[in-house]
Chains A and B, each alone.
Chain A
Amino acid sequence: MPDQILGYVLLGAAVLAIAAIVASAARGRAQPPLHPPPGVHVPPGSWLPVIWALGGGLLGAGLAFKPDDQAAAWWFLIPGLGVFVVGAILSVRTAGREWRETEHGSHDEGSGHH
């Protein structure tokens, strides 16, 4: 019991610290959109990294929380695998879309051609 209380207190303190620092860092961050020089492409934001990381975390939790008589904790593992597969499918579709746009979209010099 003392472990748990200590754990909660420390976790709460850490979360508050992160929130405070992030909040103060994020204020005043917005920059006006600037145009990169020609030939420099800035990739847009993507949800895929968060999705993949979440999937991996759930898989890890599924294995770590496993009950003694089973191969894994299915409550975590199945959603984890699901998120992973969704992430994989989305990644392939994004790759396909980007390929199509690079080949048939912009006409900057040599950008999509390896």
Chain B
Amino acid sequence: MATTTLAPGSKTYERSWVLDWLTTVDHKKIGVLYIVNAFAFFFFAGLLALVIRSELAVPGLQFVDESTFNQAFTMHGTLMIFLFVVPVFSGFANYVVPLMLGAPDMAFPRINALSFWMLPLGGLLIVSGYLVGGAAAGGWTGYNPLTQEQFSPGDGTDLWIMGLAVVGTASILGSVNFLTTIFKMRAPGMTLFRMPIFVWTVLVTQALILLATPVLTAGLIALFIDRNYGGSFFDPSVGGDPILWQHVFWFFGHPEVYIVILPALGVVSEILPVFSRKPLFGYKAFVWATIAIGLLSFSVWAHHMFTTGVVFLPFFTFMTALIAIPTGVKMFNWLATLWRGSLVFTTAMLFALGVMSMFLIGGISGVMLAAAPVDFHLQDTYFVVAHLHYVFFGGAAMGVFASAYYWFPKMTGRRLNEALGKVHFWMLFVGFNATFFVQHSLGIQGMPRRIADYSADAGWTEMNLISTAGAFLIAASMVPFVVNVITTLLNGEKVGDDPWEGNTLEWATTSPPPTYNFDRLPPIRSERPMFDLRHRDDPNLHPELAHAEIATIEADS
């Protein structure tokens, strides 16, 4: 074996676990770090959501003033999107993608660690606004001239800008890593069209991150220059254009929402086949649909700007409606996968079905908003808030929980308790719909978003109360989840390599895997190498694999 610095010697394990985790470059540990960090920000931003919903339950300002409320919804949005939902999927992808590819690690392990550590630091920068007189309060979208120095004085907005720049840079470095790994480090026999679907969605997601995030960075820098160095990018009083901010922001912002949802759709596409005991219907169509969504996502940004008056409405309505087609293809592929399958309703499966149904509702409200005349009435109302939460929470966040229940056994060697999991799911499902379904009506009735208070005569009070009750139910549903995680880690039911009878390569190694991931790999002849391995004696299936030996890499011992 090699010299001590290139292979793990026993002295690695005499160090404290703190040092081990601080200096790790192992993609599995980094994945866990991503997930833990993301959930910390999830709970923080969730508390902010409770602040918002508590204040809005009944008319009148009972708990916070307008300034605090503005900071609450700004930080809630910013932290949920940039510090929870995108990084948590980066974390799952970090853990799972090299395993699914049969690779020993990511292409650039140290840059992988760097990408992680920039996240808590960037998040700290953003949140530290609270300690210096007020966090950013201009909405997660940072529209000008509200975020100019004149209307957002103080360091909170500057910290928001710098924190997002740090987080954005981390994402871009991560995307270089993922794309290089996927293109260059697949196991022998794994062609691009034999990769698991989750890897395909990660590929397109990371390509979007690579190309869209730098545009946000450019815009953030421009805003920083305006605020601090007397720049004139967006300030109309000195020749700048506030609409330019919207263009630059949404050119990033729309691909961003596909960055959020695509990994969740990928996870659903992994879970449904396993728990239907059937292959994914239409693998190739799914791949092309994912690529189409990625490409189209760059052509629709101005649908966030229909009411500015500067947008060529027919084009953007058309392109936005068009992007619903590949999304619909995925929906039908999933239905066809479930059709006549032997369904097993584990918690992971329930969450995957939850993603399908909730994302369907969110997608439909999205297509409604795509029609410019409809958008004229619903822009900046609670209808948009309902839509974005159905896709972000009902789609992406439920996908996060699906991933958690599905891959927890692989990561820890223990299976989460199914009874507690089901309690978590149903409480979350009911609470989520209670919170957000009524918001469609609130929006149609004209309730604007981002307001701290509303008139008692508006007739919105009852629905706001229902929505707030739902929000507290969502919060309560996190209790069985956290209890489940902690008790399982301490003393949960142990599992072997492949508790779910999965299809993909992460189930071909121990739970948790060794540092170097695989001692040996099965032959790879399709997108379901583990299924093929289990059925290798079935002459109807891949006759060339009948009685195949499993070996490519030999273990030392």
Residues on A facing B (Cβ under 8 Å): 2-4, 6-8, 10-11, 13-14, 17-18, 20-22, 24-38, 40-50, 52-54, 56-57, 60-61, 63-66, 97-98, 101-102, 105-106, 108, 111
Contacts and interface: CB of A to CB of B under 8 A. Distances in A.
Contacts of B238: none
B256 to A, nearest CB: 20
Contacts of A22: 36
25 contacts: A3-B135, A7-B127, A14-B41, A21-B36, A21-B485, A24-B486, A29-B17, A30-B13, A31-B514, A33-B10, A33-B12, A38-B554, A42-B105, A43-B6, A43-B109, A44-B5, A44-B6, A49-B116, A56-B169, A57-B118, A57-B121, A60-B122, A66-B158, A98-B5, A111-B2
A65 B124 CA distance: 14
Given A7-B135, A21-B40, A44-B12, A101 B162 contact: no
Nearest to A47: B23
Contact of B2 (A3, A11, A108): A108
Main secondary structure of the interface of B (DSSP, over half): helix
B516 A50 contact: no
Contacts of B6: 41-44, 98, 101-102, 105-106
Interface string B29-42: 00010001101110
B76 to A, nearest CB: 11
A29 B413 CA distance: 11
Given A29-B17, A34-B516, A105 B114 contact: no
Contacts of B550: none
A49 B30 CA distance: 11
A53 B12 CA distance: 23
B191 interface: no
B555 interface: yes
Contacts of A60: 121-122, 125, 162-163, 165-166
B255 to A, nearest CB: 24
A13 B36 CA distance: 15
B25 A46 contact: yes
Contacts of A11: 44, 127, 130-131
Contacts of B162: 60-61, 63-64
A47 B21 CA distance: 10
Interface stretch (B60-68, B208-216, B264-272): B60-68
B20 interface: yes
B125 A57 contact: yes
Given A25-B36, A37-B519, A44 B68 contact: no
B455 interface: no
A86 to B, nearest CB: 15
A25 B105 contact: no
Interface in B149-167: 155, 158-159, 161-163, 165-166
B284 interface: no
A32 to B, nearest CB: 8
B43 interface: yes
B515 interface: yes
A40 to B, nearest CB: 5
B540 interface: no
B358 interface: no
A26 B10 CA distance: 19
Given A2-B65, A24-B485, A37-B555, 4 more contacts: A27-B490, A44-B25, A64-B125, A98-B5
B454 interface: no
B158 A63 contact: yes
A26 B17 contact: yes
B448 to A, nearest CB: 23
A2 B68 contact: yes
A81 B75 CA distance: 28
B158 A36 contact: no
A107 to B, nearest CB: 8
A28 B494 CA distance: 13
Given A26-B17, A37-B554, A64 B134 contact: no
A6 B25 contact: no
A26 B21 contact: yes
Contacts of B133: 3-4
B308 interface: no
Given A33-B9, A36-B516, A105 B21 contact: no
Contact of A43 (B9, B71, B105, B555): B105
B2 A106 contact: yes
B32 A14 contact: no
B489 interface: yes
Contact of A56 (B19, B39, B118): B118
